[in-house]
Structures are given as C-alpha cells and as structure tokens.
Chains A and B, each alone.
Chain A
Amino acid sequence: MGQGIESEAPNNLLELLPADAVRMWVTVSDWRTAVRAAGEALTSSGATSIGYTDEMIACVEEFGPYIVIAPGIALAHARPSSSVHRAGLSWVRLGSPVEFGHESNDPVSLVIGLAAPDDSSHMTALSTLAELLSDDAARSALMEATFPGRVRDIIRAHSGADPDGKDA
C-alpha cells in the first residue's frame, strides 16, 4: 500500500503543488481551455514541458470526459512521457463552470492537473489528494477558498494530521 516509493521523490502534496501552480478564478470558454490552463500551470512550475498539455487534451478526446471524477472536479492527466520532467500537480479554480460532457458530474469548477514521470512516484501524494477530496469539510473549504494561499493552507492543515500521507 504505497510503500515502494523512492525516498527522493517528493510525495508530499504541498511539495508537488507550489504556490505558482495554483490559479484562481480563471475564465475559460470551454473544457479544452480549462485543461490548457491546468497544463500551463504545470509547465510554468517546471513539472512538465508544453507538450504535456496537448497530451492531456488528447486523453479526453480519446477516452471521453472520464477525468471528471467527482461532481465539479476534473483530474486532468496523461500517460507518463518525456514531456514530464518531474511529478507535479496544478490547481485551477474556474471563474465560471464549464461543461466537459460528463453524464453526471458536469459542470466542472475545478481542474486539477497531474503529471507523473512514472507510474509509482506520485502515489502517496495522490492518496493524500484522494483523502483530501473525500473529506466533505475539506472539499467545501477548498471550493470556497478565494485565494491560492488559502488552498495551500487547507492542504497543509489536512496533511498535518497525516504527516506521511499514509491512509488510515
């Protein structure tokens, strides 16, 4: 259960989500621009190169909007590839919700971008993220946060209880 992680890989959620990868109140016209925003945030934080953004969009075009994993929340990602420099997350809160075409979880207000250089290096962080989003109180607080700093504060506070992100 998430034990085989190299000690060098950052597995702390906060480390994977630097301040400049959190974008709030981004106005987008459609789902592609929304995913693009998440991709740009990943690129500017150094986790990926520009190509990764196109890969994320291609993923949705190929498999459909399955990345809308919960009401209002999309987890944009693509296969580990050479466009990923290191594991990273981005957080894009949209100014107005956008349709992705998902049957039940549309429209989307939050796009979380995820980049991983290989299949295992981000597991612990992902599990912390899952934990965070499953917690109703934390999720509401995150959706209501007005500023990027607040988003990271909530994450920090939540991870504080689980310093290694190990789940119960």
Chain B
Amino acid sequence: MKKILAVCGMGLGSGLLLRLQAEKALKQLEVEADVEVADIGSARALASGADVVVTSDELAAQLGEVKSQVVTITNFVDLNEMVSKLGAALESEGE
C-alpha cells in the first residue's frame, strides 16, 4: 500500500485539511493508500518512508531534498487540484 505524508507547519489544522482532501481524492481515484500527517520538523525524517509527500508550496521549499515525490497544493479546499496533482504523482510512481 502506498504511503502518503501530508506536511504542514504545526501538525494540525492545514495538515489535517490536506489529509482529508487527500483521502477524498484517493477515493475518487479509486486508489488505496495510507495518509499520515506530520509537522515540518519531523517531515524530513518521515519523508523517506513515504511514496508521496503532499504540502503547500511555502513548506515544500523548507522541506528540501527528499527522495519521495513532492506534490504542492495551492488551494486546500479545491478537490480537483488535489485529485489531478495527487493522481499524476501516483501514476508516475508506477503501480
């Protein structure tokens, strides 16, 4: 099962929003994956265990180099954005 890491500044609030949206997007894409939330501090370490990292553009820069695919979301309440970006990332991961 794929692992997705949703990263935000504090580990709650926007991170949870990302997770909720990611879960909805996964349902739409009919893909199963585990979604976890982390704050930016622990994200770097946890990222190595994830296939895809989802975060905002502001924080992606702070994340730095990670092995996993990084998806940056601009509008956290726009499901279409999440679906298309996450979908593209998962596809390029290869099933």
A–B direct touch in complex (beta carbons closer than 8 A) = yes
**Is A59 in contact with chain B by the CB < 8 A criterion?**
yes
A82 at interface by CB-CB < 8 Å: no
Measured between beta carbons, the chain A residues less than 8 angstroms from B17 are 69, 75, 126, 130
B66 to chain A, nearest CB (A): 17
| Nearest chain B CB to A109 CB, angstrom units | 14
Whether B75 lies near A70 (C-beta < 8 A) is: yes
Closest chain B residue, CB of each to CB of A104: B74
Q: How far is the CB of A54 from chain B (nearest CB, A)?
A: 14
Encode A65-76 as 1/0 by CB contact (under 8 A) with B.
111011101010
B16 interfacial by beta-carbon distance below 8 Å: yes
Could you tell me the distance in whole angstroms from the C-beta of B24 to the nearest C-beta in chain A?
7
Q: How many residue pairs, one in A and one in B, have C-beta atoms under 8 Å apart? A: 81
- A103: which B residues are within 8 A, CB to CB? 57-58
Binds A, one of B6-14, B46-54, B85-93: B6-14
Q: Quote the shortest CB–CB distance from B76 to chain A (angstroms).
A: 4
Q: Is A50 an interface residue (CB 8 A)?
A: no
Q: B13–A133 contact, CB under 8 A? A: no
Inter-chain contacts of B75 with A (CB < 8 A): 69-71, 105
- For chain A residues 16-69, which have a beta carbon within 8 Å of chain B? 59, 62-67, 69
Query: By the criterion CB–CB under 8 Å, are A134 and B78 in contact?
Result: yes
Say if the beta carbon of A80 comes within 8 Å of chain B: yes
> How far in angstroms is the closest Cβ of chain B from A74?
10
Q: Is the CB of A70 within 8 A of B76?
A: yes
A101 to B49, CA, bound (A): 32
Given A75-B14, A167-B20: A65 in contact with B58 (beta carbons within 8 A): yes
A residues near B74, Cβ cutoff 8 Å: 104-105
16 residue pairs from A and B, CB less than 8 Å apart: A59-B10, A63-B9, A63-B40, A63-B58, A66-B14, A66-B58, A69-B56, A69-B77, A77-B14, A79-B12, A104-B57, A114-B12, A116-B12, A126-B20, A130-B77, A133-B77
Chain A 110-130 near chain B by CB (<8 Å), digits 1 or 0: 000010100100110011001
How long is the Cα–Cα vector from A77 to B12 in the complex, in angstroms?
8
